[in-house]
Amino acid sequence: MNIRIRIDQIPKESYSLPGNAACQGCPHLIGLKIVGKVFRGEATLVIPAGCSSIIPGYHPYTSLDMRVVHVPFASAPAVAGGISRALKIRGENMGPVIVWAGDGATFDIGFASLSGSAVRDDDIIYIVSDNEAYMNTGVQASGSTTYGARTTTTPILGKRDRKKEIDLIMLMHKIRYVATASVAYPLDFYEKLLRASQIKGFRFIHLHSPCPPGWRFDDDKTVEIARLAVETGAWILFEYIDGRLEISPPSRPYRDKSRRKPLKEYLSAQGRFKGITEEDVKIIEEMIDQNWRLIENLMSYFK
Residue ranges in contact with ligand SF4 by CB under 6 A:
22-23, 26, 28, 51, 131, 135-136, 211-214
- Nearer to Mg ion (CB atom), residue 149 or residue 295: 149
| Residue 30-69 contact track with ligand TPP, rule CB under 6 A, x = bound | -------------------xxxx-----------------
The least distance separating ligand SF4 from the CB of residue 211, rounded to whole angstroms, comes to 3
- Nearer to ligand TPP (CB atom), residue 73 or residue 147: 73
Applying CB under 6 A, does 78 fall inside the site for ligand TPP? no
Applying CB under 5 A, does 146 fall inside the site for Mg ion? no
Coil, strand or helix at 267:
helix
Applying CB under 6 A, does 111 fall inside the site for ligand TPP? no
Applying CB under 5 A, does 145 fall inside the site for Mg ion? no
Applying CB under 5 A, does 103 fall inside the site for Mg ion? yes
The least distance separating ligand SF4 from the CB of residue 275, rounded to whole angstroms, comes to 22
Site for ligand TPP (CB under 6 A): which residue of 16, 84, 113, 142? 142
- Nearer to ligand TPP (CB atom), residue 73 or residue 292: 73
DSSP readout, the chain? ------GGGS-S--SB-SS-SPPTT-HHHHHHHHHHHHTTT--EEEEESSHHHHTT-STT--SBSSEEEEE-GGGHHHHHHHHHHHHHHTT-----EEEEE-HIIIIIITHHHHHHHHHHT-S-EEEEEE-SSBTTTT-B--TTSPTT--BTTB-SS---SPPP-HHHHHHTTT-SEEEEEETT-HHHHHHHHHHHHTS-S-EEEEEE---HHHHT--TT-HHHHHHHHHHTTSS--EEEETTEEEE-GGGGGGGSGGGSPPHHHHHHT-GGGTT--HHHHHHHHHHHHHHHHHHHHHHHHT-
Applying CB under 6 A, does 134 fall inside the site for ligand TPP? yes
Applying CB under 5 A, does 22 fall inside the site for Mg ion? no
Binding span for Mg ion by CB under 5 A among 20-28, 100-108, 155-163, 251-259:
100-108
The least distance separating ligand SF4 from the CB of residue 99, rounded to whole angstroms, comes to 17
The least distance separating ligand SF4 from the CB of residue 133, rounded to whole angstroms, comes to 9
Summarize as ranges the residues that interact with Mg ion (CB under 5 A): 102-103, 131, 135
